[in-house]
Chain A
Amino acid sequence: MGCPCDEKELTDKQKYKQLKEFINESKNKKGYLIPVLHMAQVIFGFLPPEVQNFVAKEMNTPVSVVTGVVTFYSYFKIFPTGRHTITICLGTACYVRGAKKIMEELEKKLGIKIGETTEDKRFSMGVQRCLGACGLAPVIMIDKDVHGRISAQKLDKILELYK
């Protein structure tokens, strides 16, 4: 899947055109709804109702099926997110190593709860149940970077890296 996001900000019209091309390429293959939604999220950043309607129409599938899939998988987002996404791992290994404290500390620092975005759109915060990096517990992930063996004291320094 080529990433079209390297280019400059596209207009909505161009975005829909791009998505349509991808759908046409894969329309007749079975099981392609999930890859199409992956692509749609790459193009739009999240999947608002309009995009879900568009996908449903183009793929000749009921909207209920599309929405069902979007809301089922944690990867798909229906709200716009901040520039950076913080994911706190609350898997059991991280939990016993103090992940809950990290979560509370982040909530206090950023003034938002899980699932929310800061007013300046800098950070969104979510949780994950195990990132598979248990050897580094407790772990948080910011965008694609995993930060391991986090402590409340280290948080400021890490957050500084993401403007």
Chain B
Amino acid sequence: MSKRSIAQVLVGIDGNTVLFGARKIKTKLITEMHKHGLSEQVQVIETGSIGPANQGVIIGVYPAGEMYGNITEEEVVEFVQERFVKGRPYKKLLLSEKLPAGIDLTAYDSRKTQYLGRIVLDNCGKINPEDIEEYIGMRGYEALGIILKEKTSEEVIKIVRDSGLKGRGGAGFPTGLKWSFTAKVKDTPKYVICNADEGEPGTFKDRLIMEGDPHKVLEGMAICGYAIGANTGYIYIRGEYQLSIQRLEKAIKDAEKLGLLGENIFGTDFDFQVKIKIGAGSYVCGEETALLTSMEGFRGEPRFKPPFPAESGFLAKPTNINNVETFANIAPIILNGAEWFKKLGTESSSGTKVYTVLGHIKRSGLIEVPMGVTLREIIYDYAGGMSSGNFKMTQIGGTAGNLLSSEFLDVPLDFQSLKEVGYSLGSGAVLIMNETVSVVDFIKCCMKFFVHESCGKCTPCREGTRYAYEILDKISLGKGKADDIESLKLLGESMKDSSFCPFGQSAPNSLLNSLSLFPEEYNNLLIK
């Protein structure tokens, strides 16, 4: 920024908005500003996802904090004229929600006295993800500098452990503990792997984190490298995530240029390199041992644990694998301390959680809320309520997650509370459905997914998913009998108990939930 601008227009450029021509709109905005001689007063900035995902191209105006949606190229002319020449809000496209800085998040969290803002998405929609200096301006890479100069690797692990951070990929394993396992192993070289193979239907949080703030993920990985004694990091990412790949590649290059990654980081003797590995399309590769096999160039089939990746992971060397969101939490924890982090969320689960909220609601998109927020709050406070019909059910955590009916609306969403009712938090997808969705059809669709994606290594999963699908198909066509329900239950329970990896163990989750929550939907379809 050479001259001080009095207003900033942020254009949210992510996978969703690009499809609606966000880049063209950015160019058009710049030309229009120029036409009106406003180029110096109003700065047009590219940023990551601003939040809403079903409102076309989103632009934000600071300092007013206004958010506009569904803007088209033609509309830019009028928008600039109205908003910046005449200086009044462009009501036609103004969204009711405000930009993150303007949201009063404290109102939603009654358990803690104060909500301290967003952690993972703090910079998303504020900074230009392709400009490393903007990240540095938000205290970027400061955490890495501090630990390299002032802290031992044990101290770093202790901070992470004390913070109570748990893995955000779904299983919720304590991150600090995981790091300490790999740190203890003597064998070298060690590896840090960032699991960005986000294939869970309905989940796209990792993509928006990488697109919106790639450096935060890289910094988290480098800190992990220092803590466990690794000098190489890999990001295993879905091939479909083109924009994430581009931005990460650029971020790595920029960081290396400034000596923040690569050799002798911050002039110390710590080296850390990050490389990107692109997946070839397989859901099961999100499971950590399958991911390792895939990275080694084979069919992505899971391996037996133990040995755990901490001892024998990538190329049989000690490896630490974490999810994108987990890594994005690291730098803020180092900067603000474990106590700060623990103040957010609940007793059992500290910090925040990023959710992608979808389905029959008014505002779908990405939200970051403290752990422990209830479904009711997500639907009615954050998502603006149902878009049509009445609430019937929610699937949380994606296809492998759980199905919840209205009686669960007030259960706090955190690891422990869900475990108590027999559920798990999963990946962060929250799919909300109204009464138009048939339970049997929906479960059948989920099961089809598992039939397709099962890797075929173990029989309970390979055959179980197929038979479950066939029985569901039969019932949905009105040809089912009462004993089919019993078979489904038995099949589901057996898969849970005997499948080789979490894929097969979680595949029947929603099926079993639906059988106990909505038995009448099945019974109505049976031959009497």
The answer to whether B453 and A129 have CB atoms under 8 Å apart is yes
Segment 33-47 of A: residues with Cβ below 8 Å from B:
33-35, 37-38
The answer to whether B16 and A129 have CB atoms under 8 Å apart is no
Residue in A33, A68, A92, A146 whose CB lies within 8 Å of B399:
A92
Q: Which residues of B have CB within 8 Å of A130?
A: 199-203
**With A96-B431, A134-B204 as given contacts, are A148 and B19 in contact (CB-CB < 8 Å)?**
yes
Interface size on B (CB < 8 Å)?
Answer: 55
**With A73-B281, A75-B280, A129-B449 as given contacts, are A136 and B201 in contact (CB-CB < 8 Å)?**
no
The answer to whether A136 and B19 have CB atoms under 8 Å apart is yes
Which interface class (under 10, 10 to 19, 20 to 34, 35 or more) fits A? 35 or more
Q: How far is the CA of A137 from the CA of B437 in the complex (A)?
A: 15
The answer to whether B445 and A92 have CB atoms under 8 Å apart is yes
Query: Chain A, 91-108, contact with B by CB distance < 8 Å: what is the 0/1 string?
Result: 111011100100000000
The answer to whether B202 and A33 have CB atoms under 8 Å apart is no
Q: Which residues of A have CB within 8 Å of B429?
A: 134
Give the tally of cross-chain contacts (CB within 8 A): 127
**With A96-B359, A135-B365 as given contacts, are A129 and B283 in contact (CB-CB < 8 Å)?**
yes
The answer to whether A91 and B280 have CB atoms under 8 Å apart is no
B241 interface residue (CB < 8 Å to A): yes
The answer to whether B358 and A68 have CB atoms under 8 Å apart is no
In the complex, what residue of chain A is closest to B360 when comparing beta carbons? Answer: A96
Most B CB contacts (10 A, CB to CB) among A90, A96, A100, A132 go to A132
Q: Which residues of B have CB within 8 Å of A11?
A: none
**With A129-B201, A132-B198, A132-B240 as given contacts, are A33 and B297 in contact (CB-CB < 8 Å)?**
yes
Add 4 more A-B contacts to A30-B315, A129-B453, A135-B54 (CB < 8 A): A72-B455, A92-B442, A136-B19, A148-B20
Residues of B within 8 A of A (CB): 15-16, 19-20, 52-54, 198-204, 207, 238-242, 278-283, 294-300, 315, 356, 358-360, 364-365, 395, 398-399, 429, 431, 433, 437, 442, 445-446, 448-449, 452-453, 455
Residues of A within 8 A of B (CB): 30-35, 37-38, 65, 68-69, 72-76, 90-93, 95-97, 100, 129-137, 144-148
Q: Can you list 7 A-B pairs, Cβ within 8 angstroms, ordered by A?
A: A30-B296, A34-B297, A38-B280, A73-B281, A93-B202, A96-B360, A136-B16
